Chains A and B, each alone.
Chain A
Amino acid sequence: MRALLTAVFRKEMTDHLRDRRSILSVVGGALVGPLVFAVMFSVVASWNRQDKPVELPVVGRAHAPSLMAYLERTGVKLSDAPLDYESRIQAGTVDAVLIIPEDYGKDFAAGHAAKVQLVVDNSRTKARATIKRVQAVLGQYSGTLGTQRLLARGVSPELAMPVRVEEVDLATPERLAASILNMIPLFLVIACFMGGLNVAIDTMAGERERGSLEPLLLNPVQRGTLVVGKWLATTAFACTMVVVVTAVFVAVAKRVPLQDLGVKVSLDVTTALGMMAAVLPLALLASAVQMLVATFARSYKEAQTYLQLLMMVPMVPGMVLALSPIQSQSWMYGVPVLGQELLVSELMRGEPLGVLPFVLGTVSCLALTAALLAVTARMLGDERIVFGRS
Chain B
Amino acid sequence: MTLFSKSFVRGLQRRVWTETKQHPQWKSEARAARHSAPRTAQSRWRWLVPLLAIGVTATAKGAALALPILLAWSATLMFFRAAQIQQLFFAHSESTPFSQFPVTEQFVFRHAARRLLRTSLWLGVDVLFFLAAFAVRIRSEVIAESLLFAAACAVGIWAAAIGGAITLVWIRPGFPFGIISGFALSFGWVGILIVSSAKLLTPASIYTGYESFRWCLPTGWVCMLIEPWLQGNHAPFIAPLALLAGLAVATVLAARSLRRAFNFWPPTVESENSSEPLPAEVPVTRVSEIEDAVTSRIFLSAQDWTRGGFLERTAARWLTLREHRVMNLALILPPGWTAGYPYACLFLIATPTVAWLAQSFGGVRPEWILVLGTLAGLGIITPLFGGAWTAFDLVRVAHRATAVCNFWPVSLREMRGCVLKLNLVRFLFALPCWLCAGASSTAFFAAPISQGIIIAGKSWLLVLALQLFFLAFKYSASTNDTSSGFLFVTLFGAICFSIVAAAGTAVFLSVAAGSFLHWLIAVAVVALLSWLLETAYRRAWRAQQFDLLAKSGGVPVA
Co-complex (A, B): no
